Amino acid sequence: MATKDYSSIQERQVAEYMDWQVVSGSGAAKCHPGDVIGEDWLGECKTHVKPNQSIFFKYTVWQKICEEAMIKHRYPVVFTDDGSQKLSRTWCLFRSSMLNGLDVDIVKMPEKLKSSVNISFINRELNEVIHTHKQNNISNNPVCINMDWHSESISICDIDTFAELFRG
């Protein structure tokens, strides 16, 4: 399969799961920004062509979707997986301000996983952070990982948490 085939699989899965739409002609022209779109959100999807790769958020991708979302009057989000094209291994990056007023537990990104340029981690690493937090707290709230990234406060969570917080 070509890289675009993997991307298309991921885009369709994310759009269907979120009750959004795949952007027709995404990436083909500036007039079709983002990969998936919901009523309030514009999303960019990133994957790999081999499974079990690192979850990777590239800052230039974040900048691009932020600009495109602003033009479309929506909130930006980046979805990325480990190349498995599995929703259970899909993570979301968005502005922390979106969590204001929501019942959510916020955990700081562990120092060992912080990066000044791009964000990269193994699926298991953040799952362990979330699992440890849930074991040590009585709250049943969803959990998001927060950090400052290029002078902006961002949050990362798995797609199930993102859907629980922002779908419908």
Instruction: Name the token pair of 118.
Output: 């791009």
Averaged over 38-65, what is the pLDDT?
94
Residues ≥6 apart with Cβ < 8 Å to 9: 47, 85
Instruction: Name the token pair of 144.
Output: 């998001």
Q: Are 163 and 17 in contact (CB under 8 A)?
A: yes
Beta strand 36-37 with 41-46: parallel, antiparallel or unpaired? antiparallel
**How far is it, in rounded angstroms, from Cα 59 to Cα 56?**
10
If pLDDT is split at 50, 70 and 90, which confidence band does 52 have? confident
If pLDDT is split at 50, 70 and 90, which confidence band does 29 have? low
Which pLDDT does position 153 carry in this prediction?
A: 97
pTM above 0.85, yes or no: yes
Which pLDDT does position 141 carry in this prediction?
A: 96
Q: What is the DSSP code (8-state) at residue 15?
A: H
Q: Give the tens place of pLDDT for each residue, 133-167.
A: 999 988 899 999 999 999 999 999 999 999 999 98
Q: How many Cα atoms occupy the beta-carbon half-sphere of 121 within 13 Å?
A: 24
